[in-house]
Amino acid sequence: MTVEAAFPRIRAGQRLTADVLGARNIILVEQSEDVTITEDDSLHDSDLVIPGMAGAVYKYELYVSYSAVREADSGSALVGSWDVPSGTAVNRFTTSFPVSPDTGLNTGNAVIMRRPANTTLQLMGGTDASSPPVNFHSAYDRGTILLGGTAGDVTWRFGANQDVAAETILRGGANHTRLLYSRIA
């Protein structure tokens, strides 16, 4: 299926506006600071927000930086999913570290690659044996977001996999968790 662009074709002599020229620019959004979760398994809003327009289609790439304790040691892992307006479809392709890794930080290991639904949690495991965790891990979530007839913010939410005493940290600041997105239709 081909989706026809929602933007007018630019013709010679046509008046250009900032909206038309900027519509397909890639936007960078960064998590401003580290967020540590301890003994809390509820989801929290991140700084990663796409201000969605009704009927628009967005392409996104989410790069998650985090630290977590091994599942076998504490039950902790970072989890994430999208909070979207009604009628929104998110086609996700995710890659993350296994929740119960078989090996250490710098040794080859299995990864989880899947296509979760909008609100299905993406599990992102860690390798630390003690809390607070110090190893940095990466997870990826990329795909498209198709907003229905309702405009609204599309927000990435995160939390700890379980309510445990071990710390789980979403890494923020420069060169850490970030979202790239652009409107494609």
Residue 113 in 3-state DSSP?
A: strand
- Other beta carbons less than 10 A from residue 52's beta carbon: 24
Q: Which two tokens stand for residue 181?
A: 């997105």
For tokens 């936007």, the residue is 27
Q: What is the mean pLDDT of each run of 10 residues along the chain (185 residues)?
A: 52 75 84 92 94 92 92 74 91 83 68 84 85 90 93 94 84 92 89
pTM of the model: 0.85
Q: How far is CA 99 from CA 2, 71, 111, 114, 162, in A?
A: 37, 6, 9, 14, 12
- How do residues 69-87 score in pLDDT, each as one tens digit? 877 655 668 899 999 998 8
- How do residues 36-57 score in pLDDT, each as one tens digit? 998 888 999 999 999 999 998 9
Whether the link from the prior residue into 132 is cis, omega within 30° of 0, is: yes
